[in-house]
């Protein structure tokens, strides 16, 4: 069975009880490490969960998912995600691929930025379409999010902007950009 487990937004203890029970019995546990930033180190998670974690970057998940699916039809494999598993389309794609391969799956939800944004005092039902804002490069400057923000404003709606984090390229220079 493939388990997609949300870790919530805080520290190692934000995992649900059900999620922690599953993690502790899985043969392999992957930690998705590119759609969000952990508030604690991988070592803190390993210590609390009592398990070694395998880091899964974008390439591993999108191009080499066979490693994740390997033996998931006969043993339990966990895929940990900061926030909720359905906060990124990549994770939905894992479910589609598992289904195509005949691998059973279970999703264990948790809090995500999509509902935690309510702590700002804004009403969740007043949010329009969410937008992703990626890092621009010298040759790639997508502006599609501008129209969505404009449309939300015209409709009197808030806009949740998800910012690109460039996990592999973290440097002071890239963060300043």
Which of 85, 112, 139 is a domain's end point?
Answer: 112
| Contact criterion met (CB below 8 Å) for 36 and 82 | yes
- Tally of domains within the chain: 2
**Per-residue tokens: 70:** 């390997």
Instruction: Measure the CA–CA gap between 93 and 80, rounded to whole angstroms.
Output: 15
Supply the pLDDT for residue 172.
46
Supply the pLDDT for residue 177.
47
pLDDT by residue, tens only, the chain of 177 residues: 999 999 999 899 999 999 999 999 999 999 998 888 788 999 999 999 999 999 998 888 888 889 999 999 999 999 999 999 987 777 889 999 999 999 999 999 999 988 889 889 999 999 999 998 988 888 988 888 999 999 999 999 999 998 887 655 554 454 444
Kindly state whether residue 155 falls inside one of the protein's structural domains: yes
Domain range for 10 is 2-112
Q: Using alpha carbons, list the distances in angstroms from residue 92 to 39, 79, 96.
A: 23, 12, 7
Kindly state whether residue 117 falls inside one of the protein's structural domains: no
């Amino acid at each position: 069975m493939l388990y997609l487990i949300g870790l919530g937004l805080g520290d190692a203890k934000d995992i649900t009880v059900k999620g922690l029970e599953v993690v502790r019995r899985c043969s392999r546990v992957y930690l998705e490490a590119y759609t969000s930033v952990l508030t604690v180190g991988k070592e803190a998670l390993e210590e609390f969960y009592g398990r070694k974690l395998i880091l899964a970057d974008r390439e591993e998940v999108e191009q080499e998912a066979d490693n994740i699916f390997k033996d998931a039809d006969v043993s339990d494999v966990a895929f940990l995600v900061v926030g909720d598993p359905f906060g990124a389309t990549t994770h939905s794609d894992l479910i589609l691929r598992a289904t195509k391969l005949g691998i059973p799956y279970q999703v264990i939800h948790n809090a995500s930025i999509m509902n935690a944004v309510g702590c700002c005092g804004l009403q969740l039902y007043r949010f329009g379409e969410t937008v992703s804002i990626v890092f621009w490069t010298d040759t790639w400057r997508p502006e599609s999010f501008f129209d969505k923000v404009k449309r939300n404003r015209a409709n009197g709606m808030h806009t949740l902007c998800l910012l690109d984090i460039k996990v592999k390229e973290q440097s002071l220079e890239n963060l300043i950009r």
